Structure 1
Amino acid sequence: MLRIGICDDIREEVEKQEKQVRQITYQIGIRADIRKCYSGMDLLMEIELSGQFDIILLDIELGGMNGIETARQIRESDVNCNIIFITSFEQYSKEAISVHPFAFVDKPITYAQMEKLISDVYEKLQIDDKFAFKSNKTYYNISLNKIMYFISEKTITNVYFIDKICTFYGKMNDVEINLRKKQVDFWRIHHSFWLIRGI
Structure 2
Amino acid sequence: MKIAICDDDISFTSKLEEIIKQESVNYGKKPEIDVFFDGETLVKSIEDGQSYSMIFLDIEMKRMNGITAARRIRQLDRYTLIIYISSYDDYLKELFEVEPFRFISKPLQLQKLKQYFGEAIRKIEGLNNIYSYSYNKEEYTVPIKEIVYFESNKRLINIRLNDGTEQSFYGKLNNVEKEIQKINKHFIRIHQSFLVNYSYVKKMTYSEVVLEHNYDELVLRISEDRRSTVRRKVCEIAGGLQLYND
Query: Could you say whether these structures have the same fold, taking a TM-score greater than 0.5 normalized by the shorter chain as the test?
Result: yes
Structure 2: runs of 5+ lacking an equivalent: 132-141, 152-156, 160-167, 188-196, 215-246
- 1:71-122 deviation per Cα after TM superposition (whole angstroms, max 9, x unaligned): 0000112111100111001111222111110011101222222221221111
Supply the AA of the counterpart residue of 2:125: Q
Are residues 1:166 and 2:170 paired?
no
Are residues 1:186 and 2:206 paired?
no
In structure 2, the residue matched to 1:149 is 149
Structure 1: how far apart are the matches of 2:66 and 2:87? 13
Structure 1: how far apart are the matches of 2:25 and 2:70? 27
Q: Is the Cα–Cα contact under 8 Å of residues 202 and 212 in structure 2 kept in the other structure? A: no
1:193 CA displacement: 4.2
Structure 2: how far apart are the matches of 1:58 and 1:66? 9
Supply the AA of the counterpart residue of 2:174: T
Distance 1:120 1:66, change over 3 A: same
In structure 1, the residue matched to 2:223 is none
Q: Select the structure with the greater relative contact order (CA < 8 A; seq sep ≥ 6).
A: 1
Structure 1: how far apart are the matches of 2:91 and 2:210? 46
Structure 1: how far apart are the matches of 2:42 and 2:32? 14
In structure 2, the residue matched to 1:5 is 4
1:17 CA displacement: 0.8
Structure 1: how far apart are the matches of 2:144 and 2:104? 30
**Which SS does the other structure have where 1:5 is aligned?**
strand
- 1:46-78 deviation per Cα after TM superposition (whole angstroms, max 9, x unaligned): 223352111000000011211001000001121
In structure 1, the residue matched to 2:125 is 126
1:22 CA displacement: 0.6
1:42 CA displacement: 1.1
**Which SS does the other structure have where 1:167 is aligned?**
helix
Supply the AA of the counterpart residue of 1:78: D
Q: Is the Cα–Cα contact under 8 Å of residues 149 and 193 in structure 1 kept in the other structure? A: no
Q: Is the Cα–Cα contact under 8 Å of residues 150 and 195 in structure 1 kept in the other structure? A: no
Q: Is the Cα–Cα contact under 8 Å of residues 47 and 76 in structure 2 kept in the other structure? A: no
Structure 1: how far apart are the matches of 2:73 and 2:64? 12
In structure 2, the residue matched to 1:86 is 85
Q: Is the Cα–Cα contact under 8 Å of residues 21 and 30 in structure 2 kept in the other structure? A: no
| Matched residues, number | 172
1:165 CA displacement: 4.7
1:185 CA displacement: 8.7
Which consecutive aligned stretches of 4+ in structure 1 deviate over 3 angstroms post-superposition? 145-148, 159-162, 177-180, 192-198
Identity across the alignment (%): 27
Distance 1:193 1:3, change over 3 A: farther
**Which SS does the other structure have where 1:186 is aligned?**
helix
TM-score normalised over the length of structure 2: 0.60
In structure 2, the residue matched to 1:99 is 98
